[in-house]
Amino acid sequence: MVPDFDLAVGRASLDICLIFAEHRTLTHGQTSLEALPVSLRGDLHMKRFTRPWGVAAALALAVPAILLGAPAAHADPVSQTSGFYVDPNSSPARWAAANPGDGRAAAIRTEIAQKPMARWFGNWSGDIGSAVGSYVGAADAVDKLPLLVAYNLPGRDACGGHSGGGAGSVAAYDSWIASFASAIGSRPAVVVLEPDSLGDFNCMSQAQINDRVGMLSRAVGQFRSRAANTWVYIDAGNPRWVDAQTMAQRLNMAGVRNARGFALNVSNYFTTGENTNYGNQVASALQRFGYSKPYVIDTSRNGNGSNGQWCNPGGRRIGTPSRMGGGGEMLLWLKTPGESDGNCGVGGGSSAGQFLPEVAYKMIYGY
């Protein structure tokens, strides 16, 4: 135990030195190499620098790590990267590129396509190792933090029905999610795990529920063992779906103790304030199990709040773009604005996930 503790202290101390050195570079126009021990100066040139957005996060994580002997800032994907990844192949980006003469294209490109958003992975993704590896590799190449959503549980969307499907069996899912985690490997990433998964229990048998929480718990374990620099957030529905005490119990059953935290409002419209209130209640309720967890909020379409409908309601608006803090640990665009929720509402005649430029355009302005 002592050698491991010494190593953790040493690496965390190095991380702090490097953070301060780079911070001095960025703020004063010169490096502080001479302030570091000679033995560490080479590491400064070789190490991926933390950028200003990650300095505070890195310090907050590194110092407790020194005291507790836990993994230091190198396990934090935020401090390893220089901002969130903007996917050049998102559906709004592809549409804007293919329709440059359309009067809506400039607004969709600027207000949606050029914002950091998550990419969703499921049974449509083909070879999951290749798909995830390519996406995470592209983000890593430009020193950005990719956002991923894993959506492939058997019997997914049991209550809504518009996005049904998923892996063909428990064993198939276990294999799929293991490949997903392995494809990320040591590269930094944020993964939101299985939207709707813990809110759908009223539409499932007890045997199905047991299978589901087992798959989620094992999935968290896969990321923990195969993707050490990934933060995983288990989906926890929204403020008006399941009460906080019940959701905390379900999260605990699903293994959130071993995840970074939980995710709220995925593909929904509730305000950031409503989600913050609910998230705090869930985090507090987890304390009866001996721990608490941070949470992230999907703000992609919550600018006007919810009108009580979840499937392509009209009059909605884009929310705060992806950022650190702001209510949850992060505010994230997890659903792509303009992608349909299914054959319903203002998306009548569309399929779930289909990009609808008119819906996207109106969502920019909130009408």
- Strands 330-332, 323-324: parallel, antiparallel or unpaired by DSSP? antiparallel
Catalytic residue among 76, 140, 196, 200: 196
CA distance 250 to 271: 23
User: What are the mean pLDDT values of the chain's consecutive 10-residue runs (367 residues total)?
Assistant: 40 42 38 37 38 46 38 70 98 98 98 98 97 98 98 82 80 98 98 96 93 98 98 97 98 98 97 98 98 98 96 96 97 97 94 95 96
- The predicted pLDDT at position 267 comes to 95
Dihedral pair phi/psi, residue 234, rounded to 5°: -80, 135
- Would residue 174 show up in a list of annotated catalytic residues for this protein? no
The predicted structure's pLDDT at residue 313: 95
Residue among 213, 291, 198, 292 at smallest CA distance from 246:
198
Q: Which of 157, 200, 211, 235 is catalytic?
A: 157
Residue 58 is predicted with a pLDDT of 46
Cβ burial of 67 (10 Å; 0-12, 13-18, 19+) is: exposed
Q: Copy the structure tokens of residue 204.
A: 């499932």
Q: Tokens representing 337?
A: 């604005």
298 in catalytic set: no
Q: Which pTM value belongs to this model?
A: 0.81
Please give the sequence-ordered ranges of beta strands (E in DSSP) within the chain, or none if there are none: 119-121, 147-150, 189-193, 230-235, 261-264, 295-298, 323-324, 330-332
User: For residue 34, what pLDDT is reported?
Assistant: 36
User: Is 196 annotated as catalytic?
Assistant: yes
**What pLDDT is recorded for position 72?**
36
Q: Where are the beta strands (DSSP E) in 247-337?
A: 261-264, 295-298, 323-324, 330-332
Per-position b or e across 259-271, b if 16+ CB within 10 A of its CB: bbbbbbbbbbbbb
- Report pLDDT for 155: 84
